Amino acid sequence: MRAWVAPRYGPPEVLRLRELPDPAPGPGQALVRVRAIGLNFADCAARLGVYPRVPQAPFVPGMEVSGEVAALGEGVAGPQVGTPVAAVPIFGGHAELVAVDARFLRPLPPGIDFVAGAAVAVTGLTADHALFTVGRLRAGERIAITAAAGGVGTIAVQMAAAAGARVLAVASSPAKRELAASLGAHETTGYEGYRSALADGVDVVADAVGGALFRPGWKALRPDGRYVLYGFAAALGPGRVRYLHAALELLRMGALLPSALVQATRSLSGFNLSLVPHLAGELQARFARVEGMLAAGALRPVVGAVFPFARLPEAHAFLQSRASTGKIVVTL
């Protein structure tokens, strides 16, 4: 099979298309013939060597794919060979074939093609977890969502609006803010206007950017407010990791005094779904919730760009450049 290999950690240009032996599904795994790759910011972080548990280089990145089940490993009863599925292998998905833990795989619902199917698994599961499990978002509450026009953001905006929350979408350009508004955001702001947009307070902040954005959002939380931090995009920029820039962004988040949380009556939670495999048991229920919203028309995948497999490094560079909107999908 052909796969995009990172022979060493680094910028998109390090990726090389190589011929590798076909993987075989191990016990508990299914082999997926990949038809589309959903690109995640985490794939950029993995390629740069700064994602948790990233394999030693050389390795094949690739968190998310859609495709057909090609074979089943020992102990896996289904879905049967040929079934179109979405799958989350975490690593290894930038390839024509990938072996995936069968718990992280789900048949594509009717009406969802491979491109759309590669765009809603990680985004749907992450947004659902951030908003409703960790953020405990309720109807009538006001939520600020950062990177609102990105892959996860476009799904989070739709989910929050559908749940009856008042959505403040935060994004860096007018075009991105227009996209967020078209998806149901009630208010939008750029980063420069963020502080004043928060003047009335918020109940929940769903933040995947961190850095300088953290303090204003944290201070604006109303009593019982919940700050959900699930990414640190501010640390990265185009090209290589700039460690000084990342350290400065970390410092700009400041320090917290745990005892102050009591009188402030607010909470700060962080999560990375890839590090909590015990949540796998809940994944199928989460998938089902996302599928329910898709079927009801309350949610639509937002695919901002599609690249052919041969140009996958360009897709990486595009996502890391901060210019993309919605999900970037690579087709095979």
Ligand X SMILES: NC(=O)c1ccc[n+]([C@@H]2O[C@H](COP(=O)([O-])OP(=O)(O)OC[C@H]3O[C@@H](n4cnc5c(N)ncnc54)[C@H](OP(=O)(O)O)[C@@H]3O)[C@@H](O)[C@H]2O)c1
Instruction: List residues near ligand X by CB under 6 A.
Output: 40-42, 122, 126, 147, 149-153, 171-172, 176, 208-209, 230-231, 233-234, 236-237, 271-273, 319, 322, 324
Q: Work out how close the CB of 217 gets to ligand X at its nearest, in angstroms, rounded to a whole number.
A: 13
Min dist. Cβ of residue 189 to ligand X (A)? 11
Could you tell me which residues come within 8 angstroms of residue 298 by beta carbon, excluding any fewer than 6 positions away?
Answer: 158, 162
Residue 93: partners with Cβ closer than 8 Å, 6 or more residues away: 34, 37, 60, 61, 62, 63, 64, 65, 87
Identity of the residue, 25 or 218, whose beta carbon is nearer to ligand X in the bound complex: 218
By the 8 A CB rule, do 253 and 217 touch?
no
E strands present in 190-230: 202-207, 221-229
Our CB check for ligand X shows the closer of 33 and 91 to be 91
Q: Give the HSE-up count for residue 59: Cα atoms under 13 Å, Cβ half-sphere.
A: 20
Q: How far is the CB of 113 from ligand X (least distance, A)?
A: 20
CB of 81 to ligand X, least distance (A): 29
Rounded to 5°, the CA angle 104-237-185 comes to 65
For residue 90, what are its two tokens? Answer: 């975490």
Six token digits for residue 217: 């959002």
Comparing CB distances to ligand X, the nearer of 25 and 274 is: 274
Residue nearest to ligand X (CB): 150
220 Cβ neighbours under 8 A, 6+ residues apart: 144, 198, 199, 201, 202, 205
> Considering beta carbons, is residue 99 or 122 the nearer one to ligand X?
122
Which residues have CB under 8 Å from 244's CB, separation 6+? Answer: none
User: What is the C-alpha separation between 273 and 286, in angstroms, rounded?
Assistant: 12
| Shortest CB 99 distance to ligand X, Å | 21
Closest to ligand X by CB, 212 or 298: 212
Residue with tokens 């030693």: 56
Nearer to ligand X, 97 or 307 (CB): 307
Q: How far is the CB of 259 from ligand X (least distance, A)?
A: 27
Q: How far is CA 106 from the centre of its chain?
A: 17
Q: Between 46 and 60, whose beta carbon lies closer to ligand X?
A: 46
Beta carbon of residue 63, minimum distance to ligand X (angstroms, whole number): 8
Count of CB atoms within 10 A of residue 297's CB? 8
Helix (H) or strand (E) holding 260: helix 260-264
In the complex, minimum distance from the CB of residue 234 to ligand X, in angstroms, rounded to a whole number: 5
Nearer to ligand X, 29 or 320 (CB): 320
Q: Which of 196, 211, 310 is nearest to 252 (CA)?
A: 211
* DSSP state string for 37-60: EEE-HHHHHHHTT-STTPPPSSB-
For residues 41 and 309, which CB has a smaller minimum distance to ligand X in the complex?
41
Name the minimum Å distance from CB 74 to ligand X.
29
Structure tokens at 257: 């005094």
